[in-house]
């Protein structure tokens, strides 16, 4: 599915594109692509007026400051829109050079009317560049954009975007939108001195304004059926590890535009409106072709239960239909016909959902489109409906009464439709019945024939994902540790390991994941044997079996041996050990339960002098329990680490910090062994 592409190559847009892996050209490349020396020309008065203003509050890590952000949206009676964008930045550090690039997209429904940029150096004469100086390239921010010829990006590199200089640009475009809805995002990763948004509507048209993550600001009338909103001194959003997604925390204004005629393109006033719009787009798209019907028959022949048939169809779409996304215009939201997807053997997320939905219908199983944002936290229960909110399409599958297998865990109990399985046909590594952690407890639009409703996706039990590790080891009198480990990966951890091995091209590389694990726990080690299990059996846990030798694992203190009883794996995180106080919640990937059991046979002639104390930490978001015991001359270390919730609010950061510190203390704890002769002497 498409996500909205904005005028400027702002920090936020760069973040979105880089996270998706779709940034077509690096900033350094673009900056070196000016074909001719830039012209010397005076910058406009509005930009010169900003040379004397104060830079908004910032710290020494701030790359630039946005002195002025101004957007004007003019809606014309014929349904077209004109957009005008004006930006001015003060470059504060070398990395701020990236703010000297203006960005605009063009397609059959969008054209550039004007594009100019300027630089006011701290010393010397101004520079000016125009649209003729821009570089046209493949579409930035969209997968496979290099394959698209009628959807392009223009990048205008402003010269001398150096520390201490001011850069600015203006872009004017005209477009014909699919839906009359607009999102003004006025917060950035850099501080904003002033931001303004102006809306001009034709006579008789109305709008509805909804503020997100920001207190309501009343508009000022600036003309006939025209309004302007303005904010000042916006703090920068400082990136934190494991923070919620940008869309979920940034201040923004949603404008829903309502033409007097009740046009089909009017903005969405309810989730039902948006669901109806999507429902109309998919009409006829799931009708099966004769070839598709035959394929369903071939895949389900010999399958005794409905569950077995559904699983076979789901696996086929996941693994045999290649993911390719080329989304032009309405193609960003409307899927291709199921027969075409089957014939071509490729499609994007909504194409794969369409194909599976059509195949399920052939065996008498109903399913519904479910539009989501692939990153949890971008949408919550209070988010108003908007077109550009979702970037991924999955399915809600209505479970037959006879499908009650224990593996069907990703179930949403719908009040009228019954048990709905939430399933992602694009995720080829997550087996049917499961849902990866990053989508759990997120929100999506369930599209049904007579409605559209925002639902919260299920949170699977923590036992569905985790690492279960059992080690049988022996310690020598010289401190060498050796033995065998069985490592079982469940849920997302199994998917992760399968993905790692899918990327490997050489058989000798298969040992590298085990080497990485051991290198985090030991300074030196030797792997004596290793194997993997269930690599291609997705409905079973992924397993490692390996043996190792670690010289000098136990540390000596006189005639004592100090043995770290937590041998493998780290659960501690230093995420909260920062100077700056945490500003945003901590987001976990999903629930998990990890279990360790380590048995260490004591060396001949030694006995236990001291054992670590047990650790017990229990909070609403997670728990950690460990203990070390002596059983028949064997040290037995057991622990359980559980994440119960997917988000920890800021007000609970002290608890989370204590939780991790207790884990750190346990992971460093040692058992003390002494020669048995000492006890005899006493």
Any idea what the CATH number is for the domain that residue 529 is in?
2.60.120.1130
CA distance 112 to 171: 8
Q: Kindly state whether residue 586 falls inside one of the protein's structural domains.
A: yes
Phi/psi region, residue 675 (left: phi>0; alpha: psi -120 to 50; beta: rest), is: beta
Residue 227 shares a structural domain with residue 310: no
Neighbours of 160 (CB within 10 A): 17
Tell me what pLDDT residue 450 has.
84
Q: Is 430 exposed, middle or buried (0-12, 13-18, 19+ CB in 10 A)?
A: buried
Backbone angles phi, psi at 529, to 5 degrees: -165, 155
Q: Kindly state whether residue 4 falls inside one of the protein's structural domains.
A: no
Residue 554 shares a structural domain with residue 642: yes
Tell me what pLDDT residue 10 has.
42
Q: Kindly state whether residue 3 falls inside one of the protein's structural domains.
A: no
Q: Kindly state whether residue 283 falls inside one of the protein's structural domains.
A: yes
Q: Does the CA dihedral 335-338-339-341 come out positive or negative?
A: positive
Ranges of residues in the chain with a pLDDT under 50 are 2-35
Residue 470 shares a structural domain with residue 428: no
Q: Among the three residues 252, 267, 282, which one is the final residue of a domain in this structure?
A: 267
Q: Kindly state whether residue 2 falls inside one of the protein's structural domains.
A: no
Residue 456 shares a structural domain with residue 467: no
Tell me what pLDDT residue 29 has.
43
Q: For the chain, how big is the Rg over CA atoms in Å?
A: 29
Residue 433 shares a structural domain with residue 474: no
pTM of the model: 0.89
CA angle, corner 328, sides to 326 and 330, nearest 5? Answer: 125
Residue 477 shares a structural domain with residue 581: yes
Q: Residue 86's domain is classified under what CATH number?
A: 2.60.40.3140
Q: Kindly state whether residue 1 falls inside one of the protein's structural domains.
A: no
Edge-first strand listing for the sheet containing 181-185: 181-185, 252-258, 206-212
On whether the CB atoms of residues 199 and 207 are closer than 8 A, the answer is yes
Q: Residue 338's domain is classified under what CATH number?
A: 3.10.620.30
On whether the CB atoms of residues 24 and 137 are closer than 8 A, the answer is yes
**Strand bridging mode 451-456 / 466-475:** unpaired
Residue 240, domain extent: 11-267
Domain count of the fold of the chain: 3
Q: Which helix (H) or strand (E) holds 424?
A: none
CA distance 583 to 585: 7
Residue 233 shares a structural domain with residue 344: no
Residue 456 shares a structural domain with residue 473: no
Q: Which helix (H) or strand (E) holds 277?
A: helix 271-281
CA distance 162 to 87: 16
Neighbours of 237 (CB within 10 A): 21
User: Which of 175, 179, 228 is CA-nearest to residue 385?
Assistant: 179
Residue 529 shares a structural domain with residue 433: no
Q: Among the three residues 239, 267, 295, which one is the final residue of a domain in this structure?
A: 267
Residue 444 shares a structural domain with residue 587: no
Neighbours of 123 (CB within 10 A): 6
- DSSP annotation of 178 reads S
Q: Kindly state whether residue 517 falls inside one of the protein's structural domains.
A: yes
Q: Kindly state whether residue 6 falls inside one of the protein's structural domains.
A: no
Q: Among the three residues 267, 289, 324, which one is the final residue of a domain in this structure?
A: 267
- DSSP annotation of 189 reads S
Here the tokens at position 553 are 């694992």
Residue 491 shares a structural domain with residue 587: yes
Residue 549 shares a structural domain with residue 563: yes
**DSSP states along 558-590:** TTEEEEES--S------TT-SSSPP-S-EE-SS
């Amino acid at each position: 599915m498409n996500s909205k592409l904005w005028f400027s190559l702002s920090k936020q847009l760069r973040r979105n594109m880089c996270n998706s892996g779709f940034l077509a050209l690096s900033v350094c490349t673009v900056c070196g692509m000016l074909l001719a020396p830039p012209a010397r020309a005076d910058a406009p008065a509005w930009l010169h007026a900003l040379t004397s203003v104060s830079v908004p509050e910032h710290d020494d890590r701030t790359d630039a400051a946005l002195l002025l952000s101004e957007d004007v949206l003019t809606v014309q009676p014929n349904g077209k829109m004109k957009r005008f964008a004006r930006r001015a930045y003060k470059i504060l550090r070398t990395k701020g050079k990236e703010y000297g690039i203006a960005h605009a997209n063009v397609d059959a429904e969008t054209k550039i009317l004007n594009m100019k940029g300027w630089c006011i150096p701290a010393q010397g004469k101004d520079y000016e560049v125009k649209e003729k100086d821009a570089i046209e390239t493949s579409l930035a921010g969209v997968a496979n954009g290099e394959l698209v010829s009628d959807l392009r990006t223009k990048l205008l590199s402003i010269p001398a975007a150096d520390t201490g200089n001011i850069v600015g640009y203006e872009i004017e475009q005209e477009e014909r939108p699919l839906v009359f809805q607009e999102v003004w995002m006025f917060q950035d990763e850099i501080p904003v001195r002033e931001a303004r948004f102006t809306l001009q509507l034709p006579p008789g048209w109305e709008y509805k304004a909804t503020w997100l993550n920001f207190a309501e600001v009343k508009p000022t009338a600036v003309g006939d059926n025209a309004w302007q909103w303005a904010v000042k001194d916006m703090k920068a959003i400082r990136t934190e590890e494991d923070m919620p997604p940008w869309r979920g925390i940034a201040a923004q204004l949603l404008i829903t535009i309502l033409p007097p005629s009740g046009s089909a393109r009017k903005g969405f006033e309810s989730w039902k409106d948006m669901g109806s719009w999507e429902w109309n787009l998919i009409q006829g798209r799931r009708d099966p072709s004769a070839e598709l019907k035959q394929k369903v028959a071939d895949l389900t022949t010999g399958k005794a239960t409905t569950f077995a048939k559904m699983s076979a169809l789901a696996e086929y779409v996941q693994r045999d239909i290649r993911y390719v996304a080329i989304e032009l215009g309405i193609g960003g939201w409307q899927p291709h016909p199921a027969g075409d997807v089957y014939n071509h053997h490729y499609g994007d997320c909504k194409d794969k959902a369409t194909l599976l939905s059509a195949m399920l219908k052939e065996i008498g199983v109903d399913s519904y489109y479910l539009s989501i944002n692939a990153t949890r936290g971008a949408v919550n229960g209070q988010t108003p409906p908007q077109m550009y909110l979702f970037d991924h399409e999955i399915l809600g599958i209505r479970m037959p009464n006879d499908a009650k297998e224990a593996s069907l865990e990703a179930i949403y109990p719908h009040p009228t439709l019954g048990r709905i399985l939430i399933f992602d046909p694009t995720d080829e590594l997550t087996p049917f019945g499961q849902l990866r952690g990053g989508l759990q407890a997120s929100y999506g639009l369930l599209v049904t024939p007579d409605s559209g409703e925002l639902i919260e996706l299920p949170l699977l039990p923590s036992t569905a994902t985790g690492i279960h590790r059992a080690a049988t080891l022996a310690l020598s009198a010289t401190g060498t540790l050796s033995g065998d480990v069985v490592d079982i990966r469940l849920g997302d951890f199994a998917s992760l390991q399968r993905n790692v091995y899918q990327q490997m091209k050489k058989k000798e590389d298969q040992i590298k994941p085990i080497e990485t694990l051991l290198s985090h726990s030991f300074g030196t080690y030797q792997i004596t044997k290793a194997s993997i299990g269930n690599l291609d059996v997705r409905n079973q846990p992924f397993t490692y079996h390996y043996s190792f030798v670690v010289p000098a694992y136990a540390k000596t203190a006189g005639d004592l041996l100090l043995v770290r009883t937590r041998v493998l794996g780290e659960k501690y995180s230093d995420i909260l050990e920062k100077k700056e106080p945490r500003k945003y919640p901590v987001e976990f990937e999903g629930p998990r339960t990890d279990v360790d059991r380590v048995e260490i046979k004591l060396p001949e002639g030694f006995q236990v002098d001291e054992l670590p104390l047990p650790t017990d930490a229990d909070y609403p978001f997670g728990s950690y329990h460990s203990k070390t015991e002596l059983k028949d001359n064997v040290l037995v270390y057991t622990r359980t680490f559980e994440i119960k919730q997917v988000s920890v609010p800021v007000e609970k950061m002290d608890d989370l910090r204590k939780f991790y510190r207790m884990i750190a203390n346990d992971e460093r704890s040692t058992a003390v062994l002494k020669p048995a002769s000492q006890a005899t002497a006493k």
